[in-house]
Chains A and B, each alone.
Chain A
Amino acid sequence: MIIKAEDRIRATLRADNTHIRLLLAHPMHSGRQLNKDNMLDNAEFIQDIRCWRNDNEVLVIKCGSGTSQNPYFSFELADGQVGDTIAIRWVDNTGAKGDMKAIVDS
């Protein structure tokens, strides 16, 4: 299944902390669900998401197939300033990868 949407990331400074919102475009098939043709789709789900701030790894998320389609995460990082780079990388069980970057704005 092809999802035309793109991964999105937004990083803003809120009350001196960096607030990050993350939306990945991914079907997250568990491999146990019948599709329209009564066939099983192959399992395809993100397993590993990592977040860096200025080359420091801050968060590692391991996902199973119970994570919803188009996974969404929102969290805060202590301190930070406008202009920091936030980098995300993900890998799914088929080996597909994605990465993106955002600059913290006010």
Chain B
Amino acid sequence: MINKMIDIERRILIKKSLSATTIAMVVASGLLLPQRVLAHWPTKAFNAETVEDVLLALLGKANISSSKKLNFSVGKPAKHIVNGSSVSVEINSELENIERFVILVDNNPFPLVMSMDFSPDVLLPLKTRIKLIKGKSQVIAVVRAGGKLYMTKREVRVDTGGDI
């Protein structure tokens, strides 16, 4: 009797472990990745390797006006940054109806750092931190406000690069 019980339990255990391993394999194979979320991530823009390609993929063909309406600061102290693994970035502007804000670094292997979609409720200033590669690079901020694009650049020099 006891032997029989143990036998049944063993079979159940084997069945359970089998199904667990198959599920694990399916998960590892990537079939169950959250497709919806991945689809929303602009893969083409994030994998583009030049600033022009990123802007084309993300914002389409449009005239970008360099603007002094954007108040953009990179690093403390600015211009010369010791550690590129965490560089503070602050953007401020008096533009209204900002819809999208994009940060790019031209010498990073993949220039697009982040892209933000604002609702009308969001107000600037906005602060965040980015990684920069060693050497000189341009940090670029692009803002789409009221259907127009505005761009501003800051040149910085970094001693130790971040793990980009």
Smallest CB separation, B143 vs chain A (Å): 14
A69 cross-chain contacts in B, Cβ below 8 A: 85-86, 131
A85 at interface, CB cutoff 8 A: no
In whole Å, how far is A46's beta carbon from the nearest beta carbon of chain B?
10
Q: How far is the CA of A28 from the CA of B131 in the complex (A)?
A: 10
Contact of A61 with B by CB under 8 A: yes
Q: Does B24 contact A (CB under 8 A)?
A: no
Within A39-62, the residues touching B (CB, 8 Å) are 47-48, 53, 56-62
Cβ of A98: which chain B residues have Cβ within 8 Å of it?
A: none
Contact among A48, A58, A66, A71 for B41, CB-based, below 8 A: A48
Interface residues of B in 126-164 (CB under 8 A from A): 126-131, 162-164
Q: Is the CB of A29 within 8 A of B127?
A: no
Closest chain-B Cβ to A15's Cβ sits at a distance in Å of 11
Q: Which residues of A contact B125 (CB under 8 A)?
A: 74-76
Interface residue? B72 (CB, 8 A): no
Taking CB atoms, residues of chain B closer than 8 Å to A60 are: 116-117
B122 close to A (CB within 8 Å): yes
**Chain A neighbourhood of B129, CB < 8 A:** 67-68, 71-72
Any B CB within 8 A of the CB of A8: no
| A-B contact list, 18 entries, CB within 8 Å | A30-B163, A32-B163, A33-B163, A58-B118, A58-B119, A59-B118, A62-B40, A62-B114, A65-B131, A66-B108, A68-B130, A69-B85, A75-B127, A76-B125, A77-B121, A78-B121, A95-B33, A95-B37
